[in-house]
Amino acid sequence: MTASTEALPVVVIGAGPIGLAAAAQLIERNLRPLVLEAGPAAAAAVRQWSHVRLFSTWSELVDPAAEKLLAPTGWVTPDGATYPSGGDWAERYLQPLADALGDRVRYGATVTGVSRAGRDRIVDADREAQPFTVHLTTADGSQARILARAIIDASGTWSTPSPIGSDGLPALGERTAADRIAYRIPDLTDPAVRARYAGKRTAVIGSGASAFTALAHLADLAQAEDGTGTHATWVLRRGISGSTFGGGSADQLPARGALGLAAKAAVDDGHADAVTGFRTDTVERAGDGRLILVADDGRRLDAVDEVVVLTGLRPDLSFLSELRLGLDERLQAPVALAPLIDPNQHSCGTVYPHGVNELSHPEKDVYLVGMKSYGRAPTFLAMTGYEQVRSIAAHLAGDQEAAERVELTLPETGVCGGAGLFDQPVAEEAGGGGCCAAPATLTIGAPATSGGGC
């Protein structure tokens, strides 16, 4: 890398929790960040689930370098023992952090491509000496190009939810039934959304934390005055085991344990029915407009008014196609990281913090961080992402010793994370047990997770 290239900014894609933390870590290392955010404000994706509460407390959601950057602004640290909603996180921490970064954050900037200047992915000659070129579209539709010394992609996976089809592709009829299918946890505090689900039958597809949340919310609606007749059909792709609802009272993330038990209560109390081993092949439209789900073995479910698909998320790699990425063929995570997070091999408690070594690619100085670094793996904690970008910033500053030093101790639950119920009491802290331990109170089992949750 030439001296002129070193003077260029490190481009960070995405002004979410990990992207903004990356910028703060770079500043602490006297490096120059430029954060490109497609939305009109910081944490655009987080704001879309503003009604959902996180599993993590405030003490686990604030990056140390970011806190130092915020201190001179008069920012008041939230109570570290409390659980924020997505809206709280965005308004009380992420937007103030973006404001503190000032013109280092550029809004309305959608990255459409990243490459090496004058080199497509085929060309070897003098490749690493060239800066990166970042192509983007601005809010007014115009195009621009920025040169960068390094790329930190913290764009997440929120924009690309997985479809209904059990083969990873949309089920037949899924696209034409889009008017009755949602891929997010419904915000039942919104009157229009509430009216959409009140008194209706809804199929919830998925086996992770998001599905738990949707089931619990729909159960609450069923018990409300305006929700008479509300019922959920919980569609699970796998069979039943003892860990359907997570660790319950044995979960060291108590908010997540409470969430699983709330979902269990929805089934036990008759507000939801569970259908197991159901791999959706086709979505049919009934004569009255409702939807009928058909499995690959020919089973048909009773017609439902709405379908909520919560089968996981996946990374959008399209704008990185000219870069030489080393990704695991299954998870679409960096090759060195994938074995550490593979849900087929690891429980949550066996994953340890990681940094620049596990996140490097054949293309030097390109890093996928945060949720995007996990590819299709379903579990992640914000503080794991903060450790990722701390290590990367140290490496880019030439401090390899700090880059390789682990400065984070995770709870026994490892990297499990996600979103939980909002406005519900926090479960009492329980001693012992990891996130994958089944609570003794379970009377039915559930599938090993096919997406989301541990």
For the stretch 1-36, pLDDT in tens is 565 788 999 999 999 999 999 999 999 999 999 999
Please, where are the H alpha helices in 275-432?
Answer: 338-341, 356-359, 382-396, 400-404
- Beta pairing, strands 181-182 & 306-309: parallel
Phi-psi category of 219—alpha, beta or left, where left has phi over 0 and alpha has psi -120 to 50? alpha
Dist. CA 203–CA 194, nearest whole Å:
15
**Residue 296 pLDDT exceeds 90:** yes
Q: Are 5 and 149 within 8 A, CB to CB?
A: yes
Between the CA atoms of 114, 160, 137 and 63, what dihedral angle is there, to the nearest 10 degrees? -70
The pLDDT, as a whole number, for residue 249 is 52
**Residue 240 pLDDT exceeds 70:** no
Residue type present at position 335: V
**Residue 437 pLDDT exceeds 80:** no
Quick count: other Cβ atoms within 10 Å of Cβ 118? 12
User: Which among 297, 299, 272 has a CA at the least distance from the CA of 205?
Assistant: 272
Dist. CA 34–CA 43, nearest whole Å:
16
Chain centroid, CA 245 distance in Å? 19
Average pLDDT over residues 226-246: 79
Is residue 287 packed enough to be buried (19+ CB in 10 Å), middle (13-18) or exposed (0-12)? Answer: exposed
* Concatenated DSSP letters of 428-443: PP--S--TTPPPTT-S
The pLDDT, as a whole number, for residue 227 is 96
If you ran DSSP here, which 8-state letter would residue 41 be given?
S
**Which of 222-236, 265-279, 345-359 has the lowest average pLDDT?**
345-359
Confidence of residue 256 (pLDDT cuts 50, 70, 90): low
Dist. CA 152–CA 373, nearest whole Å:
10
Average pLDDT over residues 102-119: 97
**Residue 242 pLDDT exceeds 80:** no
Digit-coded pLDDT (tens) for 347-359: 444 567 799 999 9
The sign of the CA dihedral 441, 447, 448, 451 is: negative
User: Which among 176, 284, 272 has a CA at the least distance from the CA of 233?
Assistant: 272
Provide the token pair at 335. 């090759």
Rounded to a whole number, what is the distance in angstroms from the first to the last CA of the chain? 42
Dist. CA 27–CA 115, nearest whole Å:
24
The pLDDT, as a whole number, for residue 445 is 25
Quick count: other Cβ atoms within 10 Å of Cβ 172? 15
Digit-coded pLDDT (tens) for 166-189: 999 999 999 999 999 999 999 999
Backbone angles phi, psi at 319, to 5 degrees: -80, 0
Provide the token pair at 328. 């695991």
For the chain, the average pLDDT equals: 86
Dist. CA 388–CA 373, nearest whole Å:
10
Find where tokens 């003794």 sit.
440
**Residue 431 pLDDT exceeds 70:** no
**Which of 110-119, 203-212, 409-418 has the lowest average pLDDT?**
409-418
Residue type present at position 4: S
The pLDDT, as a whole number, for residue 253 is 52
3-state class (DSSP) for residue 156: coil
